[in-house]
Amino acid sequence: MLLKIKKRSDVCSSEITPEPVYHERRRFIQQTGRFALAGLGLALAGCSQEGEAVSKSPRIDSIPSPEGPDWLKQKVAGFKPKVYTTTESFTPYKDVTTYNNFYEFGTGKGDPASNAHTLITDPWSVVIEGEVAKPGRYSLEDILKPHTMEERIYRLRCVEAWSMVIPWIGIPLAEILKRFEPTSKARFVEFTTLYDPEQMSGQKASFGSLDWPYVESLRIDEAMNPLTLMATGLYGDVLPNQNGAPFRLVVPWKYGFKSIKSIVKIRLTEQQPKTTWETLAPEEYGFYANVNPTVDHPRWSQKHERRLPGTLLSPNRIKTRLFNGYAEEVADLYKGIDLSRFY
């Protein structure tokens, strides 16, 4: 849906940073036009240039809104803003949704955006099994129903040394898991992506790719950390398929490959699960995969990263931070652990 602002004096694109525009747009939607621009006018008082800000903000460009069932669109739209945030600029919507890793749709960065339209995300159900008192197959709607969506603005640091800042919408994994009552034997949480080569063309590739289905895992205390999110949206809307619709994990202090997409199974286990990337190349991708500038990948340095968007001439190179800058929230989880051994 495209929203137009009536009075051009209300806003001017030159003064608008992506983040406030995006938030004001949401308020605009919520208030269905009535008094909607009061906050915006305040923030931008004195602006006199021509305004097309809303249509030029990163989210409200010509990119159509992703598809999704009405109930999920409404659920996501009711999010509580900025439950966790940062002062950094957001990576524009276009970059977040066209520069992806989702090998189920190909290994090129543009492949998921081109190919993921074949993924059917509704109806969607998730099997919850293993060490829980209430195992079963649950519809996504039932899983989400009792929870309020939260906006969490997180850095995402890929092991390939690029990063983004993404306004996710989701629910803390801990809140979801508690409802299924993990037993005292539950020490790990294992997540599995859909396996369906008819919908996921990259799963047909017989070599040079991954073992399907994609599997990831966290220790139970990592899973229960308040930062760990099950995302169903970004930029105020449902997830585009290429970003792991309709339900994906986001673990902001770990390399991006832990943040598994399009999840159909969550299993609680006593033994540490075998995960996809660790199985493929254990010396390169560990189970922990905590972002750490002092532990290099065997084939490249992890000291710096490219914050997207950047260009060849201006790569926007920044220093990588321990735990991706979330040490205050998560360092305690790894007390007494040798991070160079448990990478």
Query: Where do contacts with ligand MTE occur on this chain (CB under 6 A)?
Result: 100-104, 156, 158, 193, 214, 243-244, 256-257, 259-262
Q: Which span (95-103, 230-238, 293-301, 302-310) binds Mo ion, by CB under 5 A?
A: 95-103
The closest alpha carbon to 149, from 87, 85, 74, 210, belongs to 74
Task: Please name which of 88, 93, 66, 90 lies closest in space to residue 77, comparing C-alpha atoms.
Answer: 66
Name every residue whose Cβ is closer than 8 Å to that of residue 46 and which is 6 or more positions away in sequence: none
* Helices within 153-263 (DSSP H only): 173-179, 220-223
The CA-based angle 235-9-41, given to 5 degrees, is 55
Q: Smaller CB distance to Mo ion: residue 105 or 124?
A: 105
Task: Return all residues near 188 (Cβ < 8 A) that are at least 6 apart.
Answer: 217, 218, 219, 220, 268, 269, 270, 271, 272, 273
| CB neighbours of residue 282 within 10 Å | 12
Structure tokens at 114: 């081109």
The three-state DSSP-derived secondary structure of 74-113 is: HHHHCCEEEEECCCCCCCCHHHHHHCCCCHHHCCCCCHHH
Question: Among 170, 182, 236, 256, which residue interacts with Mo ion (rule: CB under 5 A)?
Answer: 256
Residue 193's binding partner, choosing from Mo ion, ligand MTE, none, with beta-carbon cut-off 5 to 8 A by kind?
A: ligand MTE
- Binders of Mo ion: how many residues, by CB under 5 A? 4
If binding is defined by CB under 5 A, does position 101 make contact with Mo ion? yes
> 57 vs 242, which CB is nearer to ligand MTE?
242
Could you tell me the CA-to-CA distances from 166 to 64, 87, 154, 193, 243 in Å, in that order? 18, 12, 6, 21, 11
Q: Which of 11, 40, 158, 164 binds Mo ion (CB under 5 A)?
A: 158
Shortest Cβ distance from residue 20 to Mo ion (Å)? 29
The stretch among 79-87, 128-136, 139-147, 158-166 that binds Mo ion (CB under 5 A) is 158-166
Gyration radius of the chain over CA positions: 20
For residue 88, with 0-12 CB atoms within 10 Å meaning exposed, 13-18 middle and 19 or more buried, which class applies?
A: middle
- Is residue 15 within 8 Å of residue 43, measured between CB atoms? no
Q: Closest approach of Cβ 102 to ligand MTE, in Å? A: 5
> Could you tell me the smallest distance in angstroms from the CB atom of residue 247 to ligand MTE?
11
Question: Closest CB to ligand MTE among 261 and 307?
Answer: 261
Report in angstroms the alpha-carbon separations of 232 from 76, 109, 167, 246, 328.
7, 21, 11, 6, 26
Q: For Mo ion, which stretch binds (CB under 5 A), given 16-24, 31-39, 94-102, 226-234?
A: 94-102
Nearer to Mo ion, 149 or 291 (CB): 291
Return d(Cα 181, Cα 274) in angstroms, integer. 23
Q: Does 103 bind Mo ion (CB under 5 A)?
A: no
112 binds Mo ion (CB under 5 A): no
For ligand MTE, the closer of residues 57 and 193 by Cβ is: 193
244 in contact with Mo ion (CB under 5 A): no
- Among residues 213, 262, 284, 266, the alpha carbon closest in space to that of 112 is found at 262
The residue (of 182 and 213) whose beta carbon lies closer to ligand MTE is 213
Nearer to ligand MTE, 93 or 102 (CB): 102
Stretch that binds Mo ion, among 9-17, 89-97, 254-262, 299-307 (CB under 5 A): 254-262
Shortest distance, CB of residue 289 to ligand MTE, whole angstroms?
10
- Taking the least distance from each CB to ligand MTE, the nearer of 54 and 155 is 155
CB of residue 28 to ligand MTE, shortest distance in Å: 26
**Which of Mo ion, ligand MTE, none interacts with 260 (beta carbon under 5 to 8 A by kind)?**
ligand MTE
Bridge partner list, 157: 163
Binding-site ranges for Mo ion (CB under 5 A): 101, 158, 256-257
